[in-house]
Structure 1
Amino acid sequence: MYIGSAFNWIGFDGEISNVRYFNWRLSAEKVMEDFLDESQKKPIVYESKIALVHISTGKYLSATNEIKYELGSPNKHHMVICSSEKDVWSIIGASGRSVNVGDPVSLNNTIGLKHHATGCYLHSHDTTHGRVTPISRQQQVTLSPDERNSEDDWLIRRYNQTTSYETCHLMSGDIIGLFHVKTNKPALYSYNVLLGDGSQEVSCSGDGSESNNKWRIELIN
């Protein structure tokens, strides 16, 4: 299946202040990291294998082999979805940037995410030429098999109710937002509307303030 239709969309225009934590406070029932013992948290480093859990629905960021976005022949990208499948991702440096494997990942930093099963990169692009999602008609999120470029870059921020951390590095169990750099930083988004196979649509939408923009990091190794 290939998807595409016309739609105009304007992404978040502007910067979130360069601080470690968002100003928005999460409700107690949604702060999943509060139930994690701080001593059990581990640092996330470059090349860490992780899974991303959608806070609002509990499903995992994953990809489907069944549906592809048509981006102009012969360019087709797998659709990124949320599902019950725990897909594994590796955290890598931003495109064109050299990082040391094993170094801690700093917050407020641009990174890339590599899909472990396919070797493709978490990707988004603008909505020109009808490149929108099938249900919400928002900005597509895909797996790119192509050589890396700036459309594979994501700004990572952490949500927290407190400022209890002493360092500005990413930890397992953190609740984060991912913002697509190339298109003025709309936030990675999903919600409880199902595609035909029972998975959830994933897009880029909004400034990160909704619960649907929030993801928890699980460290796989």
Structure 2
Amino acid sequence: MKNVSSLNELIKEFEDIILEKSNIIKSGSVVALKHVATGKYLSSIKNLHYTTGSKKQLVFAGSSDFNLNSLWNIEFNGEFATSFDTFALRHIKSSLFLGINWGYSRSYYKSPSTNHTEVSCDGNETKWNFRHSKLENDQVYLKSNDIINLGIEKKNDAFQEVVCHNERLGGNDVWCIEFIKEHTWSA
């Protein structure tokens, strides 16, 4: 804390600390992920499944208007997430985890529309990692409105969201995480 020379400065400093702490995302929080380039939310609809490939629950960049299909419970070890932690995302309405799946041939299922790795929701917990897109020097924890790259690593391949790919990261891979509620919601 800088040198404070008045009571008003002390109060302002205290308010800033409280505001920053209230934006930190805790394990068990409900969040939404907004795709920065399109403004659309990461969404899934209970019982809407791929008709080919894994036949798991479909995941997509939905509406640019926030709705219940775009709510995710974020779960990680410890109370707060740092950029060194992994976490799971559980879809609120279906209680299924965001992930990617192996086919019988030991390769990832491919999206029928793009031929990239299919992203879906199922009962298997998948651990995701994130990197801050623009990390501030003093930033330690994941906070609401952070701009992040969401990915998963399997067998040395780096995959990004909504369809997964192993190509160079770009503007299409950037998500804004929004804090919705501190405690879990039930479907």
If the length of structure 2 is used for normalisation, what is the TM-score?
Answer: 0.73
Counterpart residue number, 1:107: 83
Report the Cα distance in structure 1 between the residues aligned to 2:87 and 2:115, rounded to whole angstroms.
26
Amino acid aligned to 1:61: L
Shift in Å, 1:71: 5.1
Deviations 1:86-143 (A, max 9, x none): 31111112xxxxx34xx11111321111111111001113575672002110001000
Shift in Å, 1:68: 2.4
Report the Cα distance in structure 1 between the residues aligned to 2:18 and 2:157, rounded to whole angstroms.
33
Amino acid aligned to 1:134: P
Amino acid aligned to 2:173: N
Bigger Rg over Cα:
2
| Aligned counterpart in structure 2 of residue 77 of structure 1, from 28, 51, 56 | 56
Distance 1:184 1:63, change over 3 A: farther
List runs of 5+ in structure 2 lacking aligned partners. 1-15, 182-187
Q: CA RMSD in A?
A: 2.7
Q: Secondary structure at the match of 1:219?
A: strand
Distance 1:107 1:208, change over 3 A: farther
Shift in Å, 1:38: 10
Counterpart residue number, 1:220: 180
List runs of 5+ in structure 1 lacking aligned partners. 1-36, 94-98, 190-201
Aligned residues of 2:72 and 2:90 also touching (Cα < 8 A): yes
Moved more, 105-114 or 38-47: 38-47
The alignment covers a number of residue pairs equal to 157
If the length of structure 1 is used for normalisation, what is the TM-score?
Answer: 0.62
Shift in Å, 1:43: 0.4
Shift in Å, 1:173: 0.5
Runs of 4+ displaced beyond 4 Å: 37-41, 69-72, 126-130
Higher relative contact order (CA 8 A, sep 6+): 1
Report the Cα distance in structure 2 between the residues aligned to 1:210 and 1:218, rounded to whole angstroms.
21
Counterpart residue number, 2:147: 175
Distance 1:57 1:112, change over 3 A: same
